[in-house]
Amino acid sequence: MDQITQICKLKNFLYILFISFALISCSKGSDEQNFIKILESEWQRGIDKNPLYASNMGDLKNNDKWPEYSLSEIHDNYEHNKQVLDFLNKLDNQDFSDETNLNLELFKAKYIKSIELFKYKSYLLPFSHRGGIQLQHESAETLPLREVKHYKDWLIRLNNIDTYINGHIEIAKEGINEGVMPPSILMQRVLDQISSQAFTDPKSSSFYKAFDEMHSSINQQDRLALQAEALQVIEEKVMPAYLNLYNFFKNEYLPNCRDSIGIKNIPNGAEYYEELAKNFTTTDLHPDEIHQIGLNEVKRIKAEMMKIVEEVNWQGSFREFLEYLRSDSQFYFDNSEDLLTEYLATAKRIDPELVNLFNNLPSIPYGIRPIPMESAPDTTTAYYQPPAADGSRAGYYYVNLYRPEVRPKYEIEVLTVHEAMPGHHLQISINMELDLPKFRKYGGITAFVEGWGLYSEALGYDLGLYKDPYSKFGQLTYEMWRAIRLVVDTGMHYKDWSRNDSINFFLENSAKSKQDIINEVDRYINWPGQALAYKIGQMKILELRKKSEAELGESFDIKEFHNEVLKRGALPLSVLELYIDEWLDSKS
């Protein structure tokens, strides 16, 4: 670590010189101007440090590079963040505009959180079964691949993938030394994913897919040349690099992984989870409080579900009804093509109804894509990919078509309003169109973003959805799913619940298929605390809507309320509440 520290100190010294120069050059300007310049320089630094994200955003100057991923880089970023926070704390913000003060508060919070969480050393957990180095071919889904140069840039990256992989191995070895290890049950999935990259024919490699399905603008001669080069790079550089990772993972890493699943079982893990709960929910809620909120919500939603069970004249128990929904063929498609067609049709039915709930709709469109089959077995039902910042790529709603016989029809409507419109695509695209600093325009606050997505699910009733009792049960199932998250996430990471405890709690209270439930539970094991944001965020937005309806009575306008929630971008829940209260005061 001594060499790492020396490198960090040198890099940090250079950055201090940069900050000092920036202050001298800005000495005649105001602190507000200085803050704006730091916002811009920090954004650019982030883009330069992460070339993959830069390519995704449309900045192509480092389009042939990987991010630098090493222990020295991690420690350098930590020292850098401390210097930036020190600079921010010295700013005199008394004359800042209200908008700039909000930006300062949110920007400082980002650095405070990063610095506070650093001591728990979660950066020593470089692998995830839901993405990462072993699924790096999926980067091509969001990279610009429209010209010959774009493909050549990707080939240069692939030619150097061994360096990127070796950085992961270096960090993983430090994790072994420090005793900061992930659960073995998840890492077995990662080993299987690495195996599929290391042991395959180059033409069957998932990395070759981008060259097999090339952009229509590439002529035949260039196409053949790029394909030949791709096969050579995959065989000579990509597969050997993954074989090296496979051998390390199987022989050194996996044997040292822990049998426990809760994050409390890493050093200082219980305290770490308490901080994660606060950060993901943007509240001061303790894990015990969140656990109880979840139990209360499960009870409330179950009572609503029982009304539908009675409506369809079900004669058996609640658990038998859930099993009926999971197993009866009428609720499932028998092929992926019909399942995808239904997703497409549902999205088209929603679009014309949106004007009844919103004054402002995003200008950029979205599409629907299948989740890549390499990761689909280990991934949840759907996810959303935001559009490119430069407008070169639309937003995409990814749906899981793996094993359609376990993907129920009654969840299609509720899933679509959450991930596409009026959920993530509407909120995130509007956010990107606002006049905000880039860290807010392209960043997000999970409790707000996912809280809005879950809040949007209930808007399906206003959009003409959930007319069938089973579809309505699907909406309640998805709300129940997020309530269960509060219980099982805190249960596994703070209360010593086992993986089977969580799976069984899901099975007893939700109509989600067992395939989905297992993937969900493993997701929470992998990403402690993140699942808490959805229900806590939704409950705050619903609370503010009910308050607005009560205070404004007949003058309440749902379009106006939605505009007030969305017009400033993603916010911590307490800040959102302050703005809604100001709006209500102005209305009265």
Structure tokens at 89: 């704390």
Confidence at residue 5, expressed as pLDDT on a 0 to 100 scale: 40
Confidence at residue 6, expressed as pLDDT on a 0 to 100 scale: 44
Please answer whether residues 446 and 538 qualify as being in contact, where contact means their C-beta atoms are separated by less than 8 angstroms: no
**What span, in angstroms and rounded, lies between the C-alpha atoms of 242 and 240?**
5
Confidence at residue 29, expressed as pLDDT on a 0 to 100 scale: 57
**What span, in angstroms and rounded, lies between the C-alpha atoms of 507 and 520?**
12
Q: Read off the amino acid at residue 164.
A: Y
Question: Within 10 A of 84 (CB to CB), how many other CB atoms are there?
Answer: 22
Structure tokens at 182: 């992930």
**What span, in angstroms and rounded, lies between the C-alpha atoms of 298 and 194?**
38
**What span, in angstroms and rounded, lies between the C-alpha atoms of 275 and 290?**
13
DSSP H or E run through 186: helix 184-198
| Successive 10-residue mean pLDDT values, the chain, 588 residues | 42 48 51 94 95 92 96 97 96 94 97 97 96 93 93 98 98 98 97 96 95 94 97 98 98 98 97 98 98 98 96 94 93 96 96 96 95 85 91 93 93 96 98 96 95 97 95 95 97 97 95 89 97 98 98 97 98 98 94
Residue closest to 109 by CA, chosen among 272, 314, 282, 286: 282
Distances (CA, A) of 160 to 67, 128, 136, 232, 295: 11, 21, 13, 13, 49
In this structure, are strands 395-399 and 366-370 parallel, antiparallel, or unpaired?
parallel
Order across the sheet with 395-399: list the strands: 366-370, 395-399, 382-385
Cα angle value 11/24/103 (rounded, 5°): 80
Long-range pairs, 94-100, Cβ under 8 A, ≥24: 95/30, 95/31, 95/32, 96/31, 96/32, 96/35, 97/32, 100/32, 100/35, 100/36
Confidence at residue 26, expressed as pLDDT on a 0 to 100 scale: 46
What letter would DSSP give residue 183? Answer: B
Long-range pairs, 4-9, Cβ under 8 A, ≥24: 4/71, 4/72, 4/75, 5/75, 7/72, 7/76, 8/72, 8/75, 8/76, 8/78, 8/79, 9/79
**What span, in angstroms and rounded, lies between the C-alpha atoms of 573 and 535?**
12
Confidence at residue 343, expressed as pLDDT on a 0 to 100 scale: 97
Q: Read off the amino acid at residue 514.
A: K
Residue 504 CB contacts under 8 Å (≥ 6 apart), including other chains: none
Q: Which residue has the tokens 């376990």?
A: 406
Question: Within 10 A of 307 (CB to CB), how many other CB atoms are there?
Answer: 12
Please answer whether residues 280 and 447 qualify as being in contact, where contact means their C-beta atoms are separated by less than 8 angstroms: yes
**What span, in angstroms and rounded, lies between the C-alpha atoms of 95 and 390?**
33
Question: Within 10 A of 159 (CB to CB), how many other CB atoms are there?
Answer: 17
Confidence at residue 48, expressed as pLDDT on a 0 to 100 scale: 95
